[in-house]
Structure formats: structure tokens, C-alpha cells
Copies of this chain bind each other. A is one copy, B any other.
Amino acid sequence: MRDFSSDHSALALNTASLGHNLEGHGAGWEPERLIDACAARGFGSMVFWRREIGSRAIEIGERARAAGLSVAGLCRTPFLVGTDAVDRQTVIDGAKASVDMAAGLGAAVLTIVVGGVHPGTKGISESLKIVADRIGAISPYALERNVKLALEPLNPVYAGNRSCLATLRDAVDLCDVVAASNLGVAIDVYHVWWDRDLDSQLQRAGKDRIFGYHLCDWLADTRDVLLDRGMMGDGVADLKAIRASVEGAGYTGPCEVEVFSANNWWKRDPGEVLDVMVERFRALC
């Protein structure tokens, strides 16, 4: 297991941690200012969201690299299934546009959150079949542009309307079904911390299909399942044990801090938040 206590170059900022992505949250720092702030603190990489990038993908990617940072990823494709993703061609076109943005940015990985239960169906199995079909149509396009696609299973609490893909087991099953060389998974502490099947599914995924590892913490008394994530150390997730499993399966990539926290971290100065991330990462992760 890597030792981060004296080297945090594996640390990545997911810009969502600074509240950029919802009206009225965060300090509104532009990507350039965030890049400089991360570089100054020794972060190794960054992960952006589409809304921050707009038509400036190439420019922002180059700016990050000039500052010594890599772009670890882009969040994320629009939903592939669910009430807002009914028309197949619209979904595929939207996903391809996200692939183009990731390629322009030079992002290693494009994250996929698949969307909720598809209209007219019950349970998750039918929705997952539709997801498989749609990813099958997208993955060759991404492969040509050198973009990896990371399926991120979300906590089952979101299975109704955000991600019918609710476990790592189902994500690896989906990888097996689609069988594309650029399709893998991302593991997020928030979504998997409770799952005792995690270690065996990580082994099953293997190092060539683990494309990302996301850090935060699960607060015991979570007040809002979307916007009340904890900073590492403030919750009940066993961060060391989870990373041991992830690295035990061969992962050696960035550790990306993604804390959605409307009433705590998003209200603080971004510079302070980044400082805390570095400190917690070195001490606790």
C-alpha cells in the first residue's frame, strides 16, 4: 500500500468539492485559479465537470499540464437511462459530446453515472440491459479518442433516480457484458463503504479495469444523501481498509477527493478546504 504521509502527489481534486456546481454554492473560482491553487499545494491532478469547461477544453487541459498537473478525469456523461434519458440517439449523442470534451481536455477518464430506473420498467435489471446497449454504442467512439469510460456504481439510495447501477458487483458484470477494452469502474468511498463484497469484486475487476478511486467520508448522521458528504476522517468509512482493497487489486492511480457538502465545506474558503484535504489525505487516507 502506498505511503502518502510524506508524498501526496497521488492526491487529485474533484472540483465538485468546492461547490462549483450548484447555484449559490462555492466561491466561484474559475478553473485557472483552481489549477494554480492545486499546483501550489502539490496536488498531482484534477478532475473537472463539464459545466466548467464549456468550449475551453483544450485550453484548460493545457493550462493544467503547464502548471504541472494532469487531468485525471471529466465528470460525467449525461444519464444513459431513466426519465430524462428516454431517446436512445439523444443519449448516445450526448455521451459522444462528453467524450469529445474529455479528449480535448486530455482527461484520462470519463465518468459514467448511468441514471435511474427506466420508464416503464420495475427493478433495475431491465434498465441495466438498456445501459449495456447504450454503452456498447458509445465505447468504440471513446476508444478511437483514447478516452477510458469509468462506470461508477452509486450508493443504493440513488438507485431509483440517479443510478440503477448500485454495486461494484453489478458494475463489473456490466463490464463483462459490454466487453470493451476501454470500459472499467470507479470506486467511490461514499458509495461502497458499507459493501462487504467490495474486496472480492475489486479482485474480479482487476487492475486493468479500475480507473478511479474517490475519497470522502460517510457521516454517521448524514442529513442529505446528496449534499452532506463528510471530509475524510469525519465519518465512519474505513478509509485505510478500502484503499488497501483497491490497491490490493492493483490500482496505482490518483485518489480523487469529491466532497459534496452544501452546509459545511462548500461554505468555506476554497484555499482552506484544499489545505484540509492535503492534511487529511496525508494523515488518514
Q: Which residues of A contact B (CB under 8 A)?
A: 83, 116-117, 121-125, 155-157, 159-161, 164, 166-167, 169-170, 173, 193-197, 218-222, 225, 235-239, 241-242
Contacts and interface: CB of A to CB of B under 8 A. Distances in A.
Given A123-B236, A123-B242, A197-B197, 6 more contacts: A122-B237, A122-B239, A123-B193, A124-B194, A156-B194, A167-B196
B220 A117 contact: yes
9 A-B pairs with least C-beta separation: A123-B238, A157-B157, A160-B220, A122-B238, A159-B194, A117-B236, A156-B194, A166-B194, A161-B220
A224 to B, nearest CB: 10
B197 A157 contact: no
Contacts of A197: 167, 169, 197
A122 B173 CA distance: 28
A26 to B, nearest CB: 24
Nearest to A116: B220
